[in-house]
Structure 1
Amino acid sequence: MKRFVVGAVTLTAASLGAASAGAADLPYAPRTAYTVNQPLNAFSWAGPYLGGNLGYQWGSVSNNPTKPSGFEGGVQAGYNWQSGPWVFGIEGDLQVTGADDTFAPWKFSNPWFGTVRGRAGYAFNNILFFGTGGLAFGELRGETFGRAEQHTTAGWTLGFGSEVGLDSHWSAKIEYLYIDLSESQFGITGVSNGYRSSVVRAGINYHF
């Protein structure tokens, strides 16, 4: 599994690198209405955007031996402000996941999660490096002997990533998030269980 994740990250990073090399020669039409102190010939990260993503999630359930993992995908939307090379923004996303694991007699899964995060980064023209963090929320579902129980809880997330502007409206990104969903008391286990996971995903955004 580690080899799979490392290989996926390497392949995606190589693809972004190739895309950025080609995009560096493109003329940009900056969205100047949202930009402060931005050179007229530079790529603009400012303004609203909407996109989708696909990735892989793996983690562990506290006070239980299960380690749910699986593919995940969803949508994200956000807004950036830019002053020179500095980019600040807010982003929200909602994901559906196939992350689950069975360790007899328990099965745990994380059917969905979402985040609302701040972002801060530094742009080298059409290449943006950023850190991100904020609120996470989602569902942890447990099953045993034909009984099922689910709890929706909130927690926190931290991460980092890189995004490449492909032209004046489209960009591609890769990012890592660590997500900690707080514990809830599960009747089927008799203890408190929460879900801590890592997500590596690639995505594409349309900038308005």
Structure 2
Amino acid sequence: MSSMRTRLALSVTLAVLLSQAAAAADLDNSYVQAPYPQPTTFDWSGAYIGGHAGVASSHLNPFSNGKGLAAGAQAGYNFQFGSAVLGAELEGTYMGGTDQNVRGGNLDEQWRLAAKAKAGMSLDKTLVYGTAGYTRTKFENGSNVRRGPGWEGGYLVGGGVEQAFGNGLSAKLEYNYVMTPDVKTTTNVGTTRTDIDSHVIKAGINLRF
């Protein structure tokens, strides 16, 4: 009888120890380590100002004859919706006397103003975008031009890529194609109307605030 009581006591003791061990294991497994904080993605929203410089030409090859050195400033505002970025930009550029041929003579592009819309995709700190807008270009008379057009309206399309850095700074590379239609000039051979094409490749820096 005493042997049976001893075995019963040992069984009860073993059962209690096993239940305590299981409870301890449950408590240990119930602890869930807090996840690491996820890095925040870059936000392109907000206003910015900046400057740009590049090469303008009447040919797609920016290093062909008749090119001018373009330089100017821009200001704009971006809105970001998820990875989509929409914005608007105003730009003023000195065109450096880019040469444009017309019948019987040539014109020089001196200044350009542009109002542009932008749409792109954010890849965190990299923004890839397209742009389109309206331009006003100031032409000066070149060789054999007796009467030039002055300021003429045109259209712009293009695209670029912008890379953000710290302290609100970003750098961009952009291409613009500008078409100024029906430009009226009077030369030694008479009065003509010409569609003038301009290609601009420029690099720039923006400061967001």
TM-score when normalising by structure 2: 0.71
Q: If you compute each CA radius of gyration, which structure gives the higher value, 1 or 2?
A: 2
User: RMSD between aligned alpha carbons?
Assistant: 2.3
Deviation at 1:108, TM superposition (A): 1.7
Structure 1 residues 192 and 105, CA gap change in structure 2 (3 angstroms): closer
Deviation at 1:149, TM superposition (A): 2.7
1:202 is matched with which residue? 203
TM-score when normalising by structure 1: 0.71
Residues 120-165 of structure 1: per-residue CA shift (max 9 Å, x gap): 1111110000011011111223334584534211111100100000
> What are structure 1's unaligned runs of at least 5 residues?
1-38, 61-66
Deviation at 1:194, TM superposition (A): 3.7
Q: Distance in 1 between matches of 2:103 and 2:117?
A: 39
Matches within 5 A, 1:176-195: 176-188=175-187, 189-195=190-196
Q: Kindly tell me the number of residue pairs found equivalent between the two proteins.
A: 164
Q: Distance in 1 between matches of 2:173 and 2:147?
A: 35
Q: Secondary structure at the match of 2:58?
A: strand
Q: Which residue identity does 2:49 align to in structure 1? A: L
1:15 is matched with which residue? none
* Greater mean alpha carbon deviation, residues 140-149 or residues 128-137: 140-149
> What are structure 2's unaligned runs of at least 5 residues?
1-37, 60-64
Q: Do the aligned partners of 2:89 and 2:118 also contact (CA within 8 Å) in 1?
A: yes
2:172 is matched with which residue? 173
2:135 is matched with which residue? 136
- Identical-pair percentage: 28
Q: Secondary structure at the match of 2:77?
A: strand
1:75 is matched with which residue? 73
Q: Distance in 2 between matches of 1:200 and 1:117?
A: 16
Q: Do the aligned partners of 1:77 and 1:93 also contact (CA within 8 Å) in 2?
A: yes
Q: Which residue identity does 2:182 align to in structure 1? A: E
Q: Which residue identity does 2:204 align to in structure 1? A: G
Q: Which residue identity does 1:88 align to in structure 2? A: L
Structure 1 residues 198 and 102, CA gap change in structure 2 (3 angstroms): closer
* Greater mean alpha carbon deviation, residues 136-145 or residues 161-170: 136-145
- Larger relative contact order (CA 8 Å, sep ≥ 6): 1
2:3 is matched with which residue? none
Residues 24-47 of structure 1: per-residue CA shift (max 9 Å, x gap): xxxxxxxxxxxxxxx972211100
- Select 1:88's aligned residue among 64, 82, 86: 86
